[in-house]
Amino acid sequence: MLDDSTKVYADIENVEQSNASFEGSSGTFTFRSTHSKIHEPMNENQHHSTSGYWRNFVDSFKEFDFDELDPNLSEIEKAQAIAARSPLQRGLKSRHVQMIAIGGAIGTGLFVGSGNALRTGGPASLIICYFLVGTMIFCTVQALGELAVAFPIPGSFLALNTRMISPIWGFCMAWNFALQWLIILPLELVAASITITYWNNDINGAVWVAIFYTLIVSINIFGVKGYGEAEFMFSIIKVIAVIGFVILGIVLNCGGGPIGGYIGGKYWHDPGAFNHGFKGFCAVFVTAAFSFGGTELVGLAAAETSNPRKTLPTATKQVFWRITLFYMISLTIVGLLVPYNDPRLIGNSSADASASPFVIAIRNAGIGGLPSLVNVVILISVLSVGNSAVFGCSRAIATLGDQGFAPRFFSFVDRKGRPIFGIAVTLIFGLISFLAATPKETTVFGWLMAISGLSAIFTWGTICFTHIRFRMALRAQGRDTSELTFTAMTGIWGSVWAVFLDVLILIAEFWVSLFPDDKPDAYNFFQNYLNIFFVMFVMCIYLVWKKFNVVFLVNLKDVDINTGRRVDDLDQIRQEIAEEKAYIASKPLYYRMYKFWC
């Protein structure tokens, strides 16, 4: 074992040699790989020639071939070594990650949920609140990008929470995040079956649930490549749909379309720009936050990206365009075309396409056929979120196993880089979606959603707080950001701003949940705020498990900022970055602006 001052970072991207070293909190430890590249665990062509395709397929589900670690390592160091070696395959390409960043979180929150927000607060509240939450999301993704590039390990921020903040908070947030996506899968499958009723009301919803469930299972059999390709196609469709709606909306607002007539800002005056005063504004603030759910999956995918240093910085910038174009501009158009008092904005569910302001705007213009097309996009968005749920939950479950927060077999990763037990648990829980065939499905899913309702808010706030702690730990240990190959554009103060807004959202949600009207409503409060009590429950479990012998905040000088770091020749990287900057500086202004934001 070497001295603690030795700095040997882990190259988890492409280990060419048969040996690789990783730095733990108490020194450097080495494992020997039986493969020339740890991310290519078997020669598939050779195996195919001897055993056939079917045998190759069966063998792919066997556990990734790890050699034994140094028995002298502590449990924490072993968990960090497993995370650093990253058996998850790096199958996501730049185009996958960029499209996930641009269109991955565009779903029913935008296409349907924005209608409820418009009805609750009016068009002005809609734009202001989505803008404020958009700044928070951009700061969060920038912080996540910095952390993920520095530590491209499985679990990403879920693993770093334990290290940068405390094990008890890492335990709570990992379980909270896993539960969020575990519940979202059956919810989205049911939502997809509800979406179909826009065309056909006669077929039992369980039939559609079975079809969509089979589709999602088929996608995830192919591992991260299946997820990446599916999300790439889903995102392209969603992006094209939103751009098409923006163009169409401008034409309709200016008097085009079958009915014609200039609209302008008429609906901002009658019925008005705001509705329900400040409480309506706060309600929209909360709705806007939930509309951005899933943004953090870009960071979770870092461990399965072929080149995190170049892919993730570009992907985090794409979030700016998603917020600006797909939320701000499209919702501005919606606020101009649909009055907030339109009775059709009150839908029966989160997937009720008839309540989508996008559909209502097209119907008001007298255009036939297009509402069905928008409904197809809504259906695709729902399936996209369901597919992302399997990815997010399975990786979270694997991280729980790696960190010892769940039984070790949950960390099982097969030779194709699939966290097979994580995927299995997610898909088994997804079978709850067949409750769509019962008359009580609305009640059941309402309470399931309540359990994980605030998970995204906790996740985003924790990511930013982890980033703040990372920067503070660097400073406390006499190091600085010069050793990082990517730093957040928004810096540490962007993370502070994001944490502040996360706290405001929690306060606003408390108020509008407890007092939906003039009188307190306990039932409504628990349906919207139950997740807080779940986090407290999980925290109590950890305290009892550890017999109340816990650290609530790791000392900055004790924070491990080495394990899992990539082996980069910093001098070479800095030279490459300097050359890239010099090349960009030599280009015209429009190109420099493009590279800054893209």
Per-residue pLDDT reduced to its tens digit, 220-229: 887 777 888 8
CB distance 210 to 471 below 8 Å: no
Tell me, what amino acid is at 492?
A: I
Average pLDDT over residues 67-87: 52
The rounded distance, in Å, linking the Cα atoms of 438 and 456 is 29
- Residues 361, 365, 371, 373: is their CA dihedral positive or negative? negative
Cross-strand partners of 21: 30
Question: Higher model confidence: residue 439 or residue 31?
Answer: 439
3-state secondary structure 325-344: HHHHHHHHHHHHHCCCCCHH
Query: Is the pLDDT confidence value at 471 over 90?
Result: yes
Beta bridge partners of residue 32, listed in sequence order: 19
Which amino acid is present at 71? Answer: P
pLDDT band at 498 (very low <50, low <70, confident <90, very high): very high
Q: CA dist 156 to 132, 146, 441, Å?
A: 26, 11, 34
Q: Is the predicted pLDDT of residue 300 greater than 90, yes or no?
A: no
**Least confidently predicted of 9-23, 34-48, 119-133, 285-299:** 9-23
The residue written with tokens 């195919």 in the block is 48
| Residue 189 CA: distances (Å) to CA of 432, 487, 523 | 10, 38, 26
pLDDT at 70 over 90: no
pLDDT at 268: 93
Mean pLDDT highest for which of 71-85, 475-489, 511-525, 534-548?
Answer: 534-548
| Closest to 134 measured CA to CA, from 142, 258, 534, 543 | 142
What Rg do the C-alpha atoms of the chain give, in angstroms? 24
For all residues of the chain together, what is the average pLDDT?
78
* Cα–Cα dist 115/344, whole Å: 9
Burial label, 79 (beta-carbon count in 10 A; 0-12, 13-18, 19+)? buried
Buried b (16+ CB within 10 A) or exposed e, 323-342: beebbbbbbbbbbbbbbbeb
- The number of angstroms, rounded, from the C-alpha of 319 to the middle of its chain's C-alpha atoms is 12
Three-class secondary structure of residue 302 per DSSP: helix
Spatial distance between the Cα atoms of 173 and 393, rounded to a whole number of angstroms: 13
Q: Over 90: is that where the pLDDT of 332 sits?
A: yes
Phi, psi torsion values for 373, nearest 5 degrees: -65, -40
Question: Per-residue pLDDT averaged across 79-85, rounded?
Answer: 52
**pLDDT tier for residue 577 given thresholds of 50, 70 and 90:** confident
**Residue 181 pLDDT greater than 70, yes or no:** yes
Tokens 């379980």: give the residue: 175
Reading the block at residue 383, the tokens are: 């399936």
Per-residue model confidence (pLDDT) at position 123: 93
Q: In the prediction, which pLDDT does 10 show?
A: 38
Which domains, ranges and CATH numbers included, belong to the chain?
A: 93-567 (1.20.1740.10)
pLDDT score of 12: 35
- Distance between CA atoms of 101 and 294, rounded to whole angstroms? 10
- Spatial neighbors of 355 by CB under 8 A, at least 6 apart, are 112, 115, 116, 344, 345, 346, 347, 348
Q: How confident is the model at residue 476 (pLDDT cuts 50, 70, 90)?
A: very high
pLDDT confidence of residue 143: 92
Residue 97 scores a pLDDT above 50: yes
Q: Where are the alpha helices (DSSP H) in 104-166?
A: 108-111, 113-150, 157-164
Give Dmax (Cα) for the chain: 78
Residue 188 and residue 389 in contact, taking contact as beta carbons nearer than 8 Å: yes
Instruction: Identify the three-state secondary structure at position 511.
Output: helix
pLDDT band at 92 (very low <50, low <70, confident <90, very high): low
Distance CA 180, CA 42 (A): 34
Distance CA 390, CA 383 (A): 11
- Express as a percent the part of the chain with pLDDT over 70: 78
Other CB atoms within 10 Å distance of the CB of residue 312: 28
Whether 241 has a pLDDT exceeding 80, the answer reads yes
The string of pLDDT tens digits covering residues 404-460 is 888 888 888 876 777 888 889 999 998 888 876 677 666 776 777 777 778 889 999
pLDDT exceeds 50 at position 18: no
204 phi and psi angles, rounded to 5 deg: -60, 135
Residue 183 and residue 191: Cα distance in Å, rounded? 12
Please report the pLDDT score of residue 85 as a whole number: 53
Query: Lowest-pLDDT range, 25-29, 207-211, 393-397?
Result: 25-29
Structure tokens at 445: 């899913």
Which whole-number Å values give the CA distances from 281 to 127, 191, 520, in the listed order? 10, 27, 19
pLDDT at position 75 is 47
Residue 61: helix, strand or coil by DSSP? coil
Which residues are within 8 A (CB) of 91 and not within 5 positions of it... i.e. 6 or more apart? 223, 224, 225, 228, 304, 306, 417
| Range with the largest mean pLDDT of 77-91, 133-147, 248-262, 449-463 | 133-147
* pLDDT value of residue 303: 60
Position 560 scores a pLDDT of 85
- % of residues, the chain, pLDDT over 90: 20
> What is the CA 396 to chain-centroid distance, rounded?
11
Q: Looking at the whole model, is its pTM more than 0.85?
A: no
Beta strand segments in 161-265, E: none
Phi/psi of residue 20, each to 5°? Answer: -145, 145
Contact 499/194 with Cβ under 8 angstroms? no
- Confidence category of residue 83, pLDDT binned at 50, 70, 90: low
How high is the pLDDT of residue 352? 65
Residue 243, number of CB atoms within 10 A of its CB = 14
Average pLDDT over residues 364-380: 84
How would DSSP label each residue in 273-341? S-SSHHHHHHHHHHHHHHHTTTTTHHHHGGGGBS-HHHHHHHHHHHHHHIIIIIIIIHHHHHHHHS-TT
**Res 341 pLDDT > 60:** yes
Whole-angstrom distance, CA of residue 417 vs CA of residue 320:
31
Place of tokens 């030279």: 575
Q: Give the C-alpha separation, 463 to 87, whole Å.
A: 24
Per-state percent for the chain, helix, strand, coil, to nearest 5 = 65, 5, 30
Q: What pLDDT does 345 receive?
A: 85
Say what the pLDDT of residue 44 is: 45
Q: How many CB atoms lie within 10 A of CB 582?
A: 9
pLDDT in tens, 186-211: 888 888 887 887 787 777 778 888 99
Question: Which of these ranges, 219-223, 281-285, 309-313, 583-587, has the smallest mean pLDDT?
Answer: 309-313
Asked if 79 and 402 count as a contact pair (C-beta separation under 8 A), the reply is yes
